[in-house]
Each structure stands twice: as C-alpha cells, then as structure tokens.
Amino acid sequence: MVCLLAISAWSPLSAFDLGGAAACVPATLSEAEASARDAYLEQALRDWQTPGMTIAVVQCDKPVLTKGYGVRKQGAPERVDEHTLFALGSTSKAFAAATVALLVDDGALNWDDKVQRFLPWLEVYDPWVARELNVRDLLTQRLGTSYRDENLLRKGSKNARDQLMRSRDLAPVSPFRAGYVYSNNMFIASGELVAAVSGQPWTEFARERLWQPLGMSHTGADSKVARAQPNAASPHAGRPGGPAAPIAWDYPDAVAVPSGGVNSNAVDVAQWLRFQLSEGAIGDRRLIDRGVFRQMHAPQTAIPDPGAAPDVQTQFPDAARNAGRMRFWSYGMGWYVTEYRGRTLVYHSGTIDGFRTGIGLLPEEGLAVYVNVNRVSRLPMALMLRLFDQYLGETDADWSRLYLDDE
C-alpha cells in the first residue's frame, strides 16, 4: 500500500478523514514510472482505436495527475488537454444525489419524505407506489422500471416532466423495492425535486451550491454551451474493434439533466474527487454534513448477482470481477459500492452520445481516478483499475488487455 493511513479505528467507508486522525502520504512516481504510465495509456488508445482521453487522479487531497491524451476529434490535430470538455454521462448521477443531500443538510427535506409532497404530479406504474415513493427511492435504483424502457421515450419527450409523465405506463421488471433495477427516470425526477424545493432550476442550484464552491468553473449541464467551446472533445462511434468516426453531440438536455447531462474537464473533476474523498468538504470548508454525505456512499440496494445486471456486467465483466476480487455489490445514492483487492470501491460509469466515463474512489487509500474517452467502450474502467494498481503498487494485471480479450 503506497498511501499510508495512520489511524487507530475506522469504518470501511470513512477511513480517509481530513479533519481527523488520518494521515495520508501520497505516492511519488519516478520519472520512469510516469513515462511507463503514459506509454501504457497511449498504447491503450491505439489498441481501442479511440481518438482521445482525459484523466484525473487525486491522492491524499491532492491532484497528482490532470492530463489529456490523444486528439479531440479523429482526423484533426488538436490534442486533448486537462481543460478539454467531455460529457460525463451517468456519473452525473452523483451530482444529482449531492444536490439532494444539500437540501437534506439544509433541513428542507428528509431522505424518507414522500416525493409527492413536493411533486404532486409525479405518477408511476402504480398509484400506491407513486404515493409511497420517497426521496431515498429516487437515488437508490429500486423503483423497478428499467432504463432500457425509459430511454425509448426520450426522443419524443419535450422536457423532464413530459418524459416522466410519458413513462408512467411502463411496466416494472421488478416489484417496488424488491431488488436492484437501473433507472434514469428517478434521477431526472430528483432534479425536478431539487427545483421544486429550492425554487431554482437544477442547473442553477448545482452551480451555486456545488460547482462554484468547489472551483469547478468549467462545469455545466448545457450541451449546446459545451460543444460550442473551442476546447471541447467530439464524440465518436464505431463498431467494436473498428475505427471511430465523429458523431453529433446532440443529446437532449431536457431529459438528460441531471441523470446524465453534466459536462466537465479533468481539472474540475479533480476538485469533485477531492470533495468526495473528504466526505463533503473542500479544503477547510464543509458543504455537506459528514453524516448526511455518507448516505451516498453507503450500500442502499443490494446487487446479489452482478452478472445478471446488464449495466454492471458491461462495466466489470466476469473476468474483471474475478481478477479484482470484487465480491460484494450494492448501489448507494448515485454510486455503486463494491470492493477492489480487499478495499472499498465507490464508483460509477457514464455513457452518453459517444462518450464513456469511469470514476472510482478508494476511500481507505485517499485515492480517486477519473477517466473519460470520446468513444463508447469499456476502456475507462480498464484504465481506472490500471491507475489504481500503479498507486497501490500492484503489478499483476494488464487491465486493457483483459478487457480487450473479453470483447
């Protein structure tokens, strides 16, 4: 273990405590190690025929890597750097959960308040379920309707409320609160909840209460603004194993925010990772009470068979789960909670219109990694694990090759 924690007692989800007794010593990579890392990452881009990538690594409350690799657009010379904007996809769900947590911390609502108290118009497949649906349910993937069915209605939806109302007749694939089923709609509803309680559109609330205090000055949730920036990556598509070609960056904000519509760069995301590792604080400023914050990283909905969950299987196929000793799985609030090589792993992936993201936290190590590529593939998860291993001193897995062999 490279990052040393000098503590007498800790819980699995809260070992890294900037304000307490924990002492974290960041690893210092030699020039040769940094060169080998960069060579591996560049080779991975070639192997996966991916134009570009952006990465952030935070350890012990310090950004130790914010860097771009490759090009913003296939066939164009402009390189990705640490300021290049990428779409974050469903890693946006953690922002959604954090905005709700801010309101819980404010005392404006409670995790177990009924949602219809604030959104009386919200309906789902069963009137009783709609009445019983609480704030916690929105963030923990236990309503029972699948993202695969929900997403079919997106192109015809005028706005978030229209998307939710058009989805009310979707049949659940699992009974309410009976098991884990990945949903986008409930995170869309969480944005409507934040707007109703705060009196501000979700994006404005997130900007004022999260992004500005964290110094995330280039983060937003408007795809038109993002793609108009001079330093923005282009999304790409292509058959697995084949070349990538640019596609339009045109996902509908109205039904993507906050479930999957945030855009950012590596420098800003590094601030977000610091905030996550310090459980709701940035530097000496606390934004969310630690007890409220920990609800997001705590297991909420069990995933007893990750191989049967299409989203988990896509992120971490059987071979990866076995090699990483990832045995226990659950969903928190906007985060998955599992383990990696005997350590707690809090992570999420994101996919939207030609971008794929992976964000992972090892709280016990004070270590966090962000990888985003401008082509949809499993490369971010492979490289997230590779970067973890470098800072943990592990050398036994070639994660890029393992994932490629599983394609």
Lowest average pLDDT, out of 66-75, 154-163, 222-231, 351-360, goes to 154-163
Cα–Cα dist 300/311, whole Å:
17
pLDDT at 122 over 70: yes
354-372 residue pLDDT tens: 999 999 999 999 999 999 9
What is the number of residues in the chain?
A: 407
Q: Look-up: residue for tokens 């997230």?
A: 384
290-324 residue pLDDT tens: 999 999 999 999 999 999 999 999 999 999 999 99
Q: Binning pLDDT at 50, 70 and 90, where does residue 246 land?
A: very high
Quick check: 302 and 142 in contact, CB under 8 A? Answer: no
Percent of the chain with pLDDT over 90: 87
**81 to 54, 72, 261, 341: CA distances (angstroms):** 7, 9, 21, 31
Q: Binning pLDDT at 50, 70 and 90, where does residue 240 land?
A: confident
Quick check: 122 and 185 in contact, CB under 8 A? Answer: no
Q: Binning pLDDT at 50, 70 and 90, where does residue 22 land?
A: low
> How many other C-beta atoms can be found within 10 angstroms of the C-beta atom of residue 398?
16
385-404 residue pLDDT tens: 999 999 999 988 999 999 99
pLDDT at 185 over 70: yes
Cα–Cα dist 169/192, whole Å:
19
Cα–Cα dist 299/301, whole Å:
6
pLDDT at 12 over 60: no
Of 26, 62, 91, nearest in space to 274 by CA:
62
Cα–Cα dist 8/21, whole Å:
8
Radius of gyration of the chain (CA): 20
The secondary structure of 37-95 as a DSSP string is HHHHHHHHHHHTT--EEEEEEEETTEEEEEEEEEBSSTT--PBP-TT-BEE-GGGGHHH
User: How far does Cα 209 stand from its chain's mean position?
Assistant: 19
- Sequence-ordered alpha helix ranges (H) in 257-377: 266-277, 290-297, 310-315, 318-323
Quick check: 246 and 238 in contact, CB under 8 A? Answer: no
3-class SS at 372? strand
User: How far does Cα 206 stand from its chain's mean position?
Assistant: 16
